[in-house]
Amino acid sequence: GAVVSQHPSRVICKSGTSVKIECRSLDFQATTMFWYRQFPKQSLMLMATSNEGSKATYEQGVEKDKFLINHASLTLSTLTVTSAHPEDSSFYICSARGGGSGRSDEQFFGPGTRLTVL
C-alpha cells in the first residue's frame, strides 16, 4: 500500500517552545492531507484538513493560531505546535488521501508522532 511517513516519531520539548511535525507521502502525490490527534486510550480526533497550495481548514474547537499547518507541496504537510504547553502532549497522526491507480478514495495514515511537553 501507499506509504506515509512522519518525522519525528517522538519529541520532548519544554513548555513555551514550538515544535514542527512533518508528514510526507513517499510514493504518491497527496493533494489533501489530514491531521489527527489521539489522547491515551481514546480515538482519533480530526484537527484539520490540509490542502496543497491553500489554507488549511480547521475543525471546530481547534485553534488555528496554535496549530499552524502548511502544505507546500504535493508530498509534504507540516504541523507546527506553537508555544506548546503540557496539555498539548498527545499522539499526532497525519493521513493522506489517494495513491494513484484508482485508489483516490483510500486514506493512508502515518506512524504518528508522540509529543511530550514538559
Task: Single out the residue of 90, 111, 96 nearest to residue 11, CA to CA.
Answer: 90
Joined grid coordinates for residue 89: 502532549
Owner of C-alpha cell 484508482: 102
Judged by beta carbon, residue 65 or residue 105, the one nearer another protein is 105
Closest distance of CB 105 from another protein, Å: 6
Closest distance of CB 1 from another protein, Å: 6
Closest distance of CB 75 from another protein, Å: 17
4 with 24: CB under 8 angstroms? yes
Closest distance of CB 94 from another protein, Å: 9
Residues within the interface to another protein (CB under 8 A): 1, 4, 6, 32, 34, 42-46, 49, 91, 93, 95, 97, 105-112, 114
Beta pairing partners, 10: 114
Judged by beta carbon, residue 45 or residue 76, the one nearer another protein is 45
How many Å from the N-terminal Cα to the C-terminal Cα in the chain?
A: 36
